[in-house]
């Protein structure tokens, strides 16, 4: 059974990076083993100690439940883990276990390893989502639909522009995550109070060797109570969650029965993929056999709605006392793990959602036609403005639109058949043909095509990777 398996794991644990107890244990053991190897390389542990500790530091050699229970004695699981690890080694090698470190060094560095692995997985899923968004933007560059502002119909847009907006958001979120991955994931190694006093003059060298062993950056100094790295990781994850949530919310609104402009396709592979006529159907309801709910979009929103609270908790925990925090550090472990898990799950769902999204241009055209020309009222105003002034033109068209809406008539009829608007149009020299042209959605798309092309070009110029330069503080090894 996977480490993160549970009754809700199909929705909230869909990402491929582990953040549960076994993942934490594996990361902590990796740090302890890397420290032993670094100490040996620095001449502070006997030859062979690093290899011996690495061999003993296998997750299967330890009982997670027992370590969790023993954590109640010290406030964290590291002391019990270090003791258990040393107990599996000969005396000479056991001396290399945890030498020079404090519990926070192990847990913080393990947290950086979990973040690195989680971000790598999230970046891969976001890359897949971006490719699909780019494909939708290109395919539907000229597919006209109603624009919607404040949940009301507005001037027409294209679905290509909508997808281009999704693409740009995804690419910017990827860039932020890649920057954090390259620059802000650093080893933590400071000892009891951030001085590495127990290692004497060798402390900084061991810290550098440890960073190299783990492929993490070497910070300028230990960051026990400087939690900006945690906030940078958290904010980058929250940005990705916000982008995915926006896309999912758009899909839920466009997929409403009364709108029907997009729908989710059945997954071809992976969880929920059907294998025959009797296989469970994606989007079904326990009560209504006819339903086809947008499950992927709903699941994304279920994940991303939890993100702001987690980010707030981590932000509040960043205020930490003196050289080591009393409780605030402890408050970070579970929220950051949850943030990685939920963002990873949302990204996985997002890749599937955009990869299988079905677009219905016919329904978009029908909805636009049913709007009765009202979304083009602004364009008619611009025709009248030179002769009447913008305010008077706005009021004239607004009055015609209100009467047409009350009577259930198209805007065209109210403008051309009602005496007052017809007279004012004639006085302004605006012909019926000009009004008809103004009410054609295809002629009022502005820079939609250019903006879509710009988004696609930016995506191509970035190589579709979202990657940025190397780290500010050291190599990843």
128 and 274 in a single domain? The answer is: yes
Residue 16 confidence (pLDDT): 79
Do 327 and 382 fall within a single domain? no
Does residue 95 lie in a domain region? yes
Is 170 among the domain residues? Answer: yes
pLDDT over 50 at 211, yes or no? yes
Q: Please state the rounded mean pLDDT for residues 213-217.
A: 98
Would the pLDDT of 266 be above 80? no
DSSP string, 156-196: EEEHHHHHHHHHHHHHHHHHHHHHHHHHT-B----TTTTS-
Say whether pLDDT at 280 is over 60. Answer: no
Rounded to two decimals, what is the model's pTM?
A: 0.90
What pLDDT is stored for residue 282 in this prediction?
55
Q: Which CATH number goes with the domain that contains 427?
A: 1.10.40
Catalytic residue status for 227: no
The per-residue pLDDT for range 398-445, each reduced to its tens digit, is 999 999 999 999 999 999 999 989 999 998 899 999 999 999 999 999
Quick count: other Cβ atoms within 10 Å of Cβ 122?
A: 30
Per-residue pLDDT averaged across 164-170, rounded? 98
Residue 77 lies in a domain: yes
pLDDT given for residue 54 in this prediction: 98
Residue 4 lies in a domain: no
Average pLDDT, the chain: 91
Output the DSSP codes for 400-435: HHHHHHHHT--HHHHHHHSHHHHHHHHHTT--HHHH
What pLDDT, on the 0 to 100 scale, is given for residue 471?
A: 40
Quick one: 287 and 408 in the same domain? no
Q: What is the pLDDT of residues 334-366, one digit of tens each?
A: 999 999 999 999 999 999 999 999 999 999 999
pLDDT of 472 reads 41
328 with 407, same domain: the answer is no
- When pLDDT is cut at 50, 70 and 90, the band that residue 287 belongs to is very low
Query: 357 with 394, same domain?
Result: no
Shared-domain flag, residues 301 and 414: no
Say if residue 37 is in the same domain as residue 71: yes
On whether both 357 and 378 belong to a single domain, the answer is: no
Is 76 inside any structural domain?
Answer: yes
The answer to whether residue 466 is domain-embedded is no
Reported as a single tens digit per residue, the pLDDT across 292-347 is: 799 999 999 999 999 999 999 999 999 999 999 999 999 999 999 999 999 999 99
Instruction: Please write down the long-range contacts of 471-475, taking CB distance under 8 Å and 24 or more positions apart.
Output: 471/182, 471/183, 471/184, 471/217, 472/183, 472/217, 473/183, 473/186, 473/217, 473/218, 473/219, 473/220, 474/186, 474/211, 474/216, 474/217, 474/218, 474/219, 475/212, 475/217
167 shares its domain with 312: yes
Query: Average pLDDT, stretch 152-159?
Result: 96
What's the confidence (pLDDT) of residue 467?
46
Catalytic residue among 148, 249, 324, 403: 324
For the stretch 24-62, pLDDT in tens is 999 999 999 999 999 999 999 999 999 999 999 999 999
Which one of the listed residues 58, 198, 285, 460 is annotated catalytic?
285
In the predicted structure, residue 3 carries a pLDDT above the cut 60: no
Q: What is the CA radius of gyration of the chain?
A: 30
Based on the fold, state whether residues 113 and 133 are members of the same structural domain.
yes
Q: What is the CATH number of the domain that holds 184?
A: 1.20.200.10
Q: Containing domain of residue 358, as a range?
A: 9-365+453-461
pLDDT of residue 104 exceeding 80: yes
1 belongs to a structural domain: no
- My answer on whether 321 and 414 are in the same domain is no
Whether 324 sits among the annotated catalytic residues: the reply is: yes
Higher local confidence (pLDDT), 440 or 277: 440
Domain total in the chain = 2
pLDDT over 90 for what percent of the chain? 86
Residue 191, in any domain of the structure = yes
Q: Domain check: are 112 and 219 in the same one?
A: yes
- The answer, yes or no, to whether residue 175 has pLDDT greater than 50, is yes
The yes-or-no verdict on residue 271 having pLDDT over 80 is no
């Amino acid at each position: 059974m996977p480490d993160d398996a549970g009754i809700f794991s199909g929705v909230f644990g869909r990402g491929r990076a582990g953040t549960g107890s076994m993942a934490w244990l594996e990361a902590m053991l990796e740090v302890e083993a890397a420290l032993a190897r670094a100490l040996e390389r620095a001449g502070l542990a006997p030859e062979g100690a690093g290899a011996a500790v690495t061999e003993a530091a296998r997750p299967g050699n330890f009982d997670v439940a027992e370590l969790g229970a023993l954590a109640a004695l010290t406030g964290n699981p590291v002391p019990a883990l270090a003791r258990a690890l040393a107990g599996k080694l000969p005396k000479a090698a056991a001396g290399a276990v945890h030498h020079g470190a404090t519990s926070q060094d192990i847990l913080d560095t393990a947290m950086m390893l979990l973040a690195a692995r989680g971000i790598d997985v999230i970046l891969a899923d976001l890359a897949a989502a971006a490719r699909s968004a780019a494909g939708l933007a290109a395919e539907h560059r000229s597919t006209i639909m109603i624009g919607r502002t404040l949940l009301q119909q507005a001037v027409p847009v294209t679905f290509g522009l909508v997808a281009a907006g999704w693409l740009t958001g995804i690419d910017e979120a990827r860039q932020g995550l890649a920057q954090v991955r390259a620059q802000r994931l650093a080893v933590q190694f400071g000892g009891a109070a951030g001085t590495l006093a127990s290692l004497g003059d060798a402390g900084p060298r061991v810290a550098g060797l440890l960073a190299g062993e783990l492929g993490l950056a070497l910070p300028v100094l230990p960051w026990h109570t400087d939690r900006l790295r945690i906030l940078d990781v958290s904010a980058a994850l929250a940005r990705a969650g916000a982008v995915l949530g926006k896309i999912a919310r758009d899909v839920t609104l466009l997929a409403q029965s009364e709108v029907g402009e997009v729908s989710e396709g059945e997954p071809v592979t992976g969880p929920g993929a059907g294998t025959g006529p009797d296989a469970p159907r994606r989007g079904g309801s326990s009560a209504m056999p006819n339903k086809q709910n947008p499950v992927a979009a709903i699941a994304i929103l279920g994940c991303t709605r939890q993100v702001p609270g987690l980010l707030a908790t981590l932000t509040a925990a960043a205020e930490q006392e003196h050289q080591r925090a009393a409780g605030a550090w402890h408050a970070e472990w579970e929220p950051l793990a949850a943030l990685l898990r939920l963002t990873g799950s949302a990204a996985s769902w997002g890749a599937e959602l955009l990869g299988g999204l079905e677009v219905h241009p016919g329904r978009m055209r029908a909805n636009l036609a049913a709007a009765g020309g009202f979304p083009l009222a602004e364009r008619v105003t611009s025709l009248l403005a030179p002769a009447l002034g913008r305010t008077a033109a706005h009021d004239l068209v607004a009055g015609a639109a209100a009467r047409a809406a009350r009577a259930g008539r198209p805007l065209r009829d109210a403008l051309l058949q009602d005496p007052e608007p017809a007279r004012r149009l004639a006085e302004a020299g605006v012909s019926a043909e000009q009004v008809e042209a103004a009410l054609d959605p295809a002629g009022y798309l502005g820079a939609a095509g250019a903006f879509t092309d710009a988004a696609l070009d930016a995506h191509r110029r970035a190589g579709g990777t979202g990657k940025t330069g190397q780290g500010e503080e050291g190599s990843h090894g």
